[in-house]
Amino acid sequence: PPAISTPPLPAALPPVFRSIFRNPYPNDERSRAYAVMNNVFLHLHPVRVRQHAVKFAYTFCLGGLSFFLFLVLTVTGVYLMFFYAPSATQAYSDILRIQSEVPFGLLTRNIHRWAAHLMVFFVFLHMMRVFYHGAYTNPPASSTGWSAWSCFLTLFLSFTGYLLPWDQIAYWAITIGSNMAGYAPLFNTPSKILLLAGLEVSGNTLLRFYVLHIMVFPLVAAVFLAVHFWRIPHRAARAGGGGGRH
């Protein structure tokens, strides 16, 4: 097909404006399509979406709620990071200081904790809704795999964050969880050493869980969410009547 061409912006406009808005205001179908395809943010979405894809569906906004809770956890987690050190001799005292001395520390920690619980709940419900509504059938398994991996990442985030208070409940909960990994066939001891940075829960385990909790798993989850959000409108635009069920 012939290339889409639009008239250039007036030369009298400032260079900064021209660097942000590279095309004039779209006034027909071709210029609107070109504006979407040439924009770094808008090009993630299809130019055209079928009517059935924008109809109301019984998704219960579970995916949106999960993403909102992920943003809440990111904001509150960054705030808590300023007052916490992943040290076996200092972590528990930092938690007490956050709850008693840091402005809005107790509120922020409680929001972070309850948002983590709710995110696990809503991500699990979101995966179950995709499965029971049959949204994975068109095309086959296009979204269920991403939902399952998102659920596992959410559980990993909660598991690594559970140790950070460094109290008795956290210590023995991670000990029990790591002992369960120790019963895996063939990879029992290597998996336990990889998980705990040793044979038992120690300060090295706390540091490893802290890095996984604040950096590795959030970045992986952000990549999965970006790909998941990118696939949904493209899948809905290409699918038939069943695509709108997701």
pTM comes to 0.74
Q: What is the pLDDT along the chain (246 residues), one digit of tens a residue?
A: 455 455 555 556 677 766 666 677 778 888 878 777 777 677 666 777 777 666 666 677 888 899 999 999 999 999 999 999 999 999 999 999 999 999 999 999 999 999 999 999 999 998 888 778 776 665 544 556 677 788 899 999 999 999 999 999 999 999 998 888 778 777 777 888 888 988 889 999 999 999 999 999 999 999 888 887 777 666 655 555 444 444
Three-state SS sequence of the chain: CCCCCCCCCCCCCCHHHHHHCCCCCCCCHHHHHHHHHCCCCHHHCCCCCCHHHHCCCCCCCHHHHHHHHHHHHHHHHHHHHCCCCCCCCCHHHHHHHHHHCCCCHHHHHHHHHHHHHHHHHHHHHHHHHHHHCCCCECCECCCHHHHHHHHHHHHHHHHHHHCCCCCHHHHHHHHHHHHHHCCCCCCHHHHHHHHHCCCCCCHHHHHHHHHHHHHHHHHHHHHHHHHHHHHHHHHHHHCCHHHHHC
